[in-house]
Amino acid sequence: MPAEVLTIAIIGTGLIGPRHAQSVQANPDARLLCLVDPRAEAKAVAESFGVPLFESIKQMVEEGHRPDAAIVCTPNSTHVAVSLELLKEGIHVLVEKPISVDIASGERLIEAAREAGRHLLVGHHRRFNPYVTATKNALLKGSIGRPIAVSGLWATYKPSSYFEAPTQWRAETSRGGGPILIYLIHEVDILQYLLGPIIRVHAEHTISQRGHPVEEGAAILLRFASGVVGTFILSDATPSNHFFESGTGENPMLPHSGKDFYRIFGSEGMLSVGDMKLERHGKGEERSWVTLLKEDNVEVGGEVPFDEQVKNLVGVLRGAEEPRCTGEDGLRALRVCDAVKKAMGTGQAVDVEE
């Protein structure tokens, strides 16, 4: 007997909501039940997907539309409130990153999901990216030996239109704006997925050019529980092709440069992520700086991250898979970002709280 098709609602129809809706409709084991968004612009989005539109979760439920799960795609500062409302209705939740804009509310959300007996997943979709998967597999195979250090980049220039209504919240600290919570949190999650927990950070502000209350970037030092150390340059105010979206071509709206954005150094070689170059000594060669390293390409698959994330959500709800990114995983990334902000404010190294 075929498994029951699971119904999924999308909460929020801004930039990322329609992308999730496409992946739900592309999955044969899921059905897009409806969209929820009070904005007038949402009507056209719902019509394009051929599904009902509701102004609120309350209206959705009262009118007899109770999905198995919902994907929360609202502004960062509303993630917890929207997710709590869904959990109270007995609906499983996949909430876009960040799980919350502060640690206390993130902890409250995780506890609420536990009490409700419902799944809480976090939309760090890059865990499903084929470049990340290929890197994870290379590390697990010992392709560079024991990881020793990592150098990361996320640097590009956001035009003034990026901060204009209705997304002016991106320039507001109180609403979860700024590249730390919008972009660094993705990078932190990937680095922890690849190399394990980050336990200490130090960070310095980049020069402010726009005059917004939020940060424009930082230079960051990282220490991992494994002993790996790292550096990371973050900036949304300097032109560069060295950032995840450009290096992987993940976002079709952005040019695919193929430039590297991580370099992971190990006891036996180095892996450059983005251009996917693996550098090692030849078999039988002595490790020495006088020997030119051999360069190989790491194979990258063709899986689509948002599609894979929906597939994982369906698998979790059916009890066939474990969540690729749990609420606890999402909160762990937020803790690191919170420590980075504290380090930027104090000028001191900050231990990441557990």
Helix (H, G, I), strand (E, B) or coil at 169: helix
Helix (H, G, I), strand (E, B) or coil at 36: strand
Amino acid at 295: E
DSSP annotation string for 257-297: -----EEEEESSEEEEETTTEEEEPPTTPPP-TTSPPEEEE
Residues composing the chain: 354
- pLDDT at 252 (0 to 100): 85
Rounded CA-CA distance 243/248 in Å is 9
Tokens matching residue 10: 């999308």
Domains and CATH numbers, the chain: 6-123 (3.40.50.720), 129-302+334-351 (3.30.360.10)
pLDDT digit string (tens) for the chain, length 354 residues:
356 899 999 999 988 999 999 999 999 999 999 999 999 999 999 999 999 999 999 999 999 999 999 999 999 889 999 999 999 999 999 999 999 989 999 999 999 999 999 999 999 999 999 999 999 999 999 999 999 999 999 999 999 898 888 888 888 877 778 899 889 999 999 999 999 999 999 999 999 999 888 899 999 999 999 999 999 999 999 999 999 999 999 988 899 999 999 999 999 999 999 999 999 999 889 999 999 999 999 999 999 999 999 999 999 999 999 999 999 999 999 999 999 999 999 999 999 987
Q: Left, alpha or beta for 200 (phi > 0: left; psi -120 to 50: alpha)?
A: beta
Rounded CA-CA distance 144/156 in Å is 29
CA 86 to the chain's CA centroid: 21
Rounded CA-CA distance 131/135 in Å is 6
Q: Summarize pLDDT for 134-146 with one digit per residue, the tens.
A: 999 999 999 999 9
Strand residues in the chain grouped as ranges (E): 6-11, 30-36, 53-54, 69-72, 92-96, 120-123, 147-155, 198-205, 217-224, 229-235, 262-266, 269-273, 277-280, 294-297, 350-351
* DSSP assignment letter at 352: P
pTM of the model: 0.89
Rounded CA-CA distance 318/111 in Å is 22
The closest alpha carbon to 218, from 228, 231, 227, belongs to 231
